[in-house]
Structures are given as structure tokens and as C-alpha cells.
Amino acid sequence: MARDNAPEPFDAVDIIRLKRDGSPLSVEHIDWIVDAYTRGVVGDEQMAALAMAIFTRGMEPAEVLQLTQAMIRSGETLDFSGLGKITADKHSTGGVGDKITLPLAPLVASFGVAVPQLSGRGLGHTGGTLDKLESIPGWRADIANDELMEILRGPGCVVCAAGSGLAPADRKLYALRDITATVDCIPLIASSIMSKKIAEGTASLVLDVKVGSGAFMKDESLARELATTMVALGNGAGCATTALLTDMDTPLGRKVGNALEVEESVEVLAGGGPDDVRELTLALAREMLDAAGLRDADPARALDNGQAMDTWRGMIAAQGGDPDADLPTAMHTHTVTADQDGYLATLDALAVGVASWRLGAGRARKEDPVQPGAGIELHKKIGEPVRAGEKLFTLHTDTPERFERALETLEPGWSVTDAPPRARESVIIDRIAVDRTAG
């Protein structure tokens, strides 16, 4: 890698041409271009061209691994070896009503496992974990590394923003992909997620890879390919990694928004909450606890007896929040009612997510503010009986002029039929892990 006044060993145009023409990039090519882009030697327009070449031509597994490693080396890494606790983490590819991190992190931490959960903000129709937690008065997303370690030694879990020193090459590249239509590219998604998670230094990782209308991956075969790629990257880097493929055709839970989802998460921590949220929380907890060597732990009991709730309260307080404070509520509501008897037959996750975003729960640009109380309550889930005049949805916002566009989006996303639809057996589609018997 060139430094000071030494000549650069490669030309970005040659590397772009190689990938454009379908050739694999060498270790040296990938290492150099990631480093040169981080230093500003390679411009945004050149990296955008390479991203599009990767989007159209793909990458071989060895290339994806090298790209991931190069992005890790672009910045700092965290080291939890001095904690005296086993670490475990979880990452979701994002969905509608996906509040799972909120009950999951304290649930796993309540068994003595350290959970350093570096999370993000919402963009578009998918909600951000940090936006949700910031609806709690006083809660802080920005935590310095020394404070992070202190909280992990205490309550045992932290949900916070990733520091600027973690995989800075990925931060630059992700911002570029977002404006060049190269976000939904498996090699780039996999290397982006895993470079940050591996740099984070956790001993194990469970991936929640969502598939369906409200997910980035609409197609199950592509979601499976992404999950398999990330599991291989994690295990190849020494981080024990598994993945669950989960359904995102319909929203998780009955509340979509920021404060609304915090409310529902607290219900789960109190032993209640919607069945699908509880099911997925427990499934991911079992994966994390198993990876930490606690195969006999009973996460369901920890939800029901208050053990997880105690850890939640400690985590919120440690990050400046008041776990007893009232959550913000929207100033205006609008209720949608059924016009016939029957059963709720469809409830499209994307329609609900976009409607919630239009109410003010999400942002179109990363610098946009969000309304903490905005969102949608789902009074009925797919398969439940409905009577004419009964509530289906309640829309929440501080700006009532948003109702019209939100309703335009939501209306085609649901239907009531005379006959009950086929019920979804489980939110979990499959589990993906390394085949330890192969070879």
C-alpha cells in the first residue's frame, strides 16, 4: 500500500475494467483499492463504477472474503477479551416492526453473556433500533469505547451507534451504494455487514436474514445465498456464526413506529407481547446462548419471571435513559375500520412500513428527523376474525396532513375475505449453519 510520495501500485481504471469484464480481482487489487478509497486517492466516481461492476458481474467467495478483511483493516477493532464474559451479538437485515433487539439484548445478557449491540438508524420503510430507543427520555446512542466496556461489565448489554473508527471504508462505500442503486448486491451487503460485526470483536454472531415484501431480500433463494455467504465469512474469521431465515411478508408484532415499538418490547420483557415477536426473540436468544455454551439456559423463563426486565432497566439507565418515564405519543390519530365481516387475509409488510414512514416514523435522508410517536397500531393480524365497523389500524402522527398519503399506501396492502386464510405456522423459515461434518 502506497504511502507519502511513493507511487501507487495500481490504477483504479484497470481494476474497474477487470471486474467490468468479469475477471476476479486479486488480493492485492482489493487491498489496494479499499485502502486508496479510504485515503481519498480513489474518487467516489471510480468506486461507484467498481460497485456497479461488482453488482453486474458478482464476486467469487475468495473475493468477498478479501473485501471484508480489507474493510476491517481500514479502521480499528474492538477487543472484549478482558471483560471476563463471553460475548454474543445479533444482526438483522431489517424489516417492518422488527423490534427484536430491544427485548433480545437484555434477555441474553441476563444470563451473564455480554451483548455489545452496535445498531443503526432507519432509512426508508425499515425502522432503526437507535431511533426507537431514542424515544426513551434521556437515552443516549453515542457511547465511547471505555463506557461501553463499563456497561458490559455491569448490566451486560449495550445498544449503541458504531464509532467512526470501525470499518470506515464500509461507511464511505455504503453511502455511495445508497445513491448509485447498488445496495441490493449480495457480495457488497455481506462484506458490509460482516466487516463491522467482525471488527466489533464479538465471539459469536446470530444473523436474522429477513425475506419477503418488507425486507431488502424479496426472494428466498437470494436471502438464503446472502445468509450462507455471511455465515461462511463469520466462521472463516473465527466468529461462530449462524443465521435464521425469517418471514417479512407481514409486519412483526402489532406496533410499527418508534415509541410504539418500545412499548411492545416492554410487553415482551414482561412475559407478554405478540406471539411472533416472542417466538423470534426466544429463537434468537437460544442461538446466542448456545453459542456462548449455555445450552441448558431457559430464555422463556427469564422473560416470564422478570429476570430480563431487570437487565433492560439497568441497560436503559446506564445509557442515560429513564425506564419509568412516559414515552412520547403522537398528537393526532386516525382509525381504519372494517367494512365487512370476515377474516384479515392479507397485511403487506412493505405497505405498512411505507405508510408508517409517511406518518413521520422514518426518514427519506439520513439527516431527516423522525417523530417518536408516529406509526401504526395493527389491531388485527392475518387470520384473525373481523366484524364490520371493528378497528383494523390506528395511524399516529404529529402532522395530520400526512394521513392522506399514508392511507393511500396502506389501503392496497390489506384485505378481508369471507374464508380464513392459511395461517403462517412460524415466523422462522430455516436455520443456516456451517456443516461441521463436511470434508
Which residues are identified as catalytic?
Answer: 91, 170, 177, 192, 196
Strands 255-257 and 385-386: unpaired
The span from the CA of 317 to the CA of 310, in Å, is 11
Q: What does the block give as the cell for 275?
A: 406471539
Q: What are phi and psi of 420, to 5 degrees?
A: -65, 140
Q: Which residues pair with residue 241 across a beta bridge?
A: 205
**Amino acid in position 326:** D
The span from the CA of 334 to the CA of 62, in Å, is 52
Place of cell 455504503: 174
Q: What are phi and psi of 92, to 5 degrees?
A: -110, 145
Q: What does the block give as the cell for 7?
A: 507511487
Calculate the alpha carbon distances from 312 to 121, 149, 306 in Å.
Answer: 20, 17, 10
Report helix, strand and coil shares of the chain as percent, to nearest 5: 45, 15, 40
Contact indicator for 191, 64 with CB cutoff of 8 Å: yes
